[in-house]
Structure 1
Amino acid sequence: MKRLLLGLAAFALVLALPLPAFAGGGRQPDDLRELSHKLRMYIGSAVDVTALAEEADYRQVLNREFTHITAENAMKWESVEPQRGVYTWEGADAIVRNAQRNRQKVRGHTLVWHNQLPTWLTEGVADGSIDAKELRRILRDHIMTEAGRYRGKIRAWDVVNEVVDDEGNMRESIWLTHLGPGYIADAFRWAHQADPHAKLYINDYNLEWNTAKIDTTLAIVKDLKAKRVPIHGIGFQGHLGIQYDYPADFPAVMSRFTDLGLEAAITEADVRMVMPATPEKLATQADYYQRMLATCAANDRCVEFTVWGYTDRHSWVPGWFDGEGAANIMDENLAPKPAYNALLSVRRT
């Protein structure tokens, strides 16, 4: 009991810590939407489309707090075309309509990825019934159809997602194997043709610190720009864990990309921990979130900070990392955690 009381007292202390005044000594923002306006950047969240439809409290907080939203799964290929030529746009449409009603911009996620592909596509490639020529046509049709459907309604698309592996090699996928590395440039050109006004991004995880992945991604970007391929942005996913050191070189890494003329976004931020959560772990989590947002705020070309789900009620982390969780800025009851308050303290420098 004594240990429990001490833990509760420490947690209360974390919540009660004074936060720094906002720029110019002004009042700290009351919520993330106000912070978004103060920092002059979009602050967003990934959206669970089922929760959006069925949970009024989830929907209310999402629309109160955020100026930008991303479809967590509803725009992925297996979701929008589960059977060849049979499209299911309901989830993606619902997210776009919700954004329009609530003065939010939308990030489209994602047009080309090696995961969450429909089985008709992967099985057709595997058994040879879809050859390379047809695969290229299928990819073009997918990009043109989806990006074209939401033409003028998407601020930015993650055109290609996770195309570099952890060793810094081009990721082995059906796209690389059957189409060669030129599929990346093709995807950007087709996306631009379908929606000339959308910002087009390359998006990846561990770009905050993995030197091999950073160098290869930089080389891809430089090659695309040299070929006048329409690429506009770099997406740093921002999936961190407090059991690992914070990537202290992240500001310099971001600058290496923005110095090439790209805009930047932190697209999928969360900070997981080994459970159970403790006041000390939550304080470290808050520090990591604050430093990520501060990195974006300090770079004039960083335009968006999006969390990969804002509540622990709906999080991908426990299903992927055994024994880990509590990765988001609000708890299961949608109550703000220390990380939420830490974000409100960030100012543009």
Structure 2
Amino acid sequence: MRIQLATTKLVLSVLLLGGCAAYDNQSTQNTTFKSAFADDFLIGTAVSERQVMTNEKTRAFVAEQFSALTAENSMKWESLQPQEGEFNWRVADELVAFSEAHGIHVTGHTLLWHQQVPEWVFEGADGEPASRSLLLNRLRQHIHSVIGRYKGRIPSWDVVNEALNEDGSMRESQWYKLIGPDYLVHAFKFAHEADPEAKLYYNDYNLFKPEKRNGAVKLVRDIQQAGAPVHGIGLQAHYGVGYPEDLTQIEDSIIAFGELGEVLITELDVSVLPFPDEEQQGADISLNMALSDQLNPYVDGVPEQDLKKFNDHYVSLFKIFLDHKDKISRVTFWGVDDAQSWRNNWPMSGRTDYPLLVDRKQVLKPVTETIFSLAQ
């Protein structure tokens, strides 16, 4: 069912600060994310190393609020195997133990990506680029080591992250250049070998765009037809107020991907800040721009008109998610609270953003009351 974007009556309690609505007001509701959506889909968050290891307040908040967890960075290649054959399991082990103690579903993120990979992975013994066979062996060894350690404990994995360009063509990463386009097939086969019971996902951003959606459908079908299991597609939902402008594009992608397997909303946040170039919105972490007051306008809070747009955007998104809960198995926010969100430092360091439904004091924002009521 398609939604009509309309003004939503929201219950808002806001603290006025210089004509802006500050996100430090106290929510009066007792409902949690995981209780609100218990009959619909898993609801999750991504956690950082500091939050996992030392922040007891955040650990308690996460245990209370969420039914799913993803490691923000601590399961990526550079974190787990910075040197060949030398693994650092400390943070990942603690995350898995914490999740088990609280009955929280964990998704491993991510086994293969073109970012945050140590240089040695792509180098041969002579300093030249690694051969196809060497790189495939390293990929298999890494995947088997990581999944093997958590076999039976981590039930799902983001196997490949961001293999597509914006036009739906394959990104010519080092993986692509040194192995060839079949590197994805091998990655999913290696993951299935390591744990035949685990759910395996492809994950990418801007998959609401028709051309990138079509590329993802073709990519996943090709992998499946080659005999490697892909159980679902993760839509990284890095959005902004008014982005995407047409939310039915998200709905179209959910429907299209639902024909291939599970649909996951994997990295949800909604920025309230202006973006310097509409064409570059998404999640390309290689972007690095200079900070300016024009692009960091809400240091002290968000104007009422933009707060309302933020609220309406989130309400509209959750209407879509709930309309298609038969296809969606998980919705995960990329971060626990506004203070921790990566959106404060992308695409420029030092901005103040408010992209999550939990404020800087780890209080649920008032709009969550309206969002939770949608699931009743």
User: Do they superpose with TM above 0.5?
Assistant: yes
Question: Which range moves more in the overlay, 199-208 or 50-59?
Answer: 50-59
Structure that is richer in helix per residue: 1
Residue 233, structure 1, aligned to residue 232, structure 2 = yes
Residue 252, structure 1, aligned to residue 252, structure 2 = yes
Deviation string, structure 1 residues 206-255 (Cα, Å, up to 9, x no partner): 002x1221111111122222233211001001000115325332112211
Sort the Cα spacing of 1:124 and 1:255 in 2 relative to 1 into closer, same or farther, 3 A. same
Question: In structure 2, the residue corresponding to 1:127 is in which secondary structure?
Answer: coil
Question: In structure 2, the residue corresponding to 1:216 is in which secondary structure?
Answer: helix
Deviation string, structure 1 residues 34-57 (Cα, Å, up to 9, x no partner): 113132x10000011212222221
How many angstroms does 1:7 deviate by? 4.4
Question: Which range moves more in the overlay, 182-191 or 319-328?
Answer: 319-328
Find the counterpart in structure 2 of residue 287 from structure 1. Answer: 312
Find the counterpart in structure 2 of residue 24 from structure 1. Answer: none
Question: In structure 1, the residue corresponding to 2:50 is in which secondary structure?
Answer: helix
* Correspondence list, 1:38-77, <5 A: 38-39=39-40, 41-77=41-77
Find the counterpart in structure 1 of residue 263 from structure 2. Answer: 264
Counterpart pick for 1:315 among 341, 354, 367: 341
Deviation string, structure 1 residues 277-303 (Cα, Å, up to 9, x no partner): 233323322222233333222220211
Find the counterpart in structure 1 of residue 215 from structure 2. Answer: 216
- 1:193 & 1:165 partners in 2: Cα distance? 28
Find the counterpart in structure 2 of residue 140 from structure 1. Answer: 140
Find the counterpart in structure 1 of residue 286 from structure 2. Answer: none
Deviation string, structure 1 residues 83-128 (Cα, Å, up to 9, x no partner): 1110000111111001000110001100110000013224559931
- 1:105 & 1:143 partners in 2: Cα distance? 20
Counterpart pick for 1:303 among 311, 325, 329: 329
Contact 2:24 2:361 in 1 (8 A): no
Sort the Cα spacing of 1:330 and 1:11 in 2 relative to 1 into closer, same or farther, 3 A. closer
- Gapped runs of 5+ residues in structure 1? 17-27
Sort the Cα spacing of 1:107 and 1:342 in 2 relative to 1 into closer, same or farther, 3 A. farther
- 1:129 & 1:249 partners in 2: Cα distance? 40
- 1:179 & 1:345 partners in 2: Cα distance? 49
* Correspondence list, 1:16-95, <5 A: 30-39=31-40, 41-95=41-95
Find the counterpart in structure 1 of residue 111 from structure 2. Answer: 111
* Correspondence list, 1:195-210, <5 A: 195-208=195-208, 210=209
Question: Which range moves more in the overlay, 328-337 or 73-82?
Answer: 328-337
How many angstroms does 1:5 deviate by? 6.9
Contact 1:11 1:279 in 2 (8 A): no
TM-score by length of structure 2 reads 0.82
Residue 191, structure 1, aligned to residue 217, structure 2 = no
Residue 334, structure 1, aligned to residue 362, structure 2 = yes
How many angstroms does 1:8 deviate by? 5.3
- 2:221 & 2:268 partners in 1: Cα distance? 26
Sort the Cα spacing of 1:255 and 1:29 in 2 relative to 1 into closer, same or farther, 3 A. farther
How many angstroms does 1:339 deviate by? 4.4
Question: Which range moves more in the overlay, 126-135 or 172-181?
Answer: 126-135
Contact 2:144 2:191 in 1 (8 A): yes
- Gapped runs of 5+ residues in structure 2? 1-15, 274-296
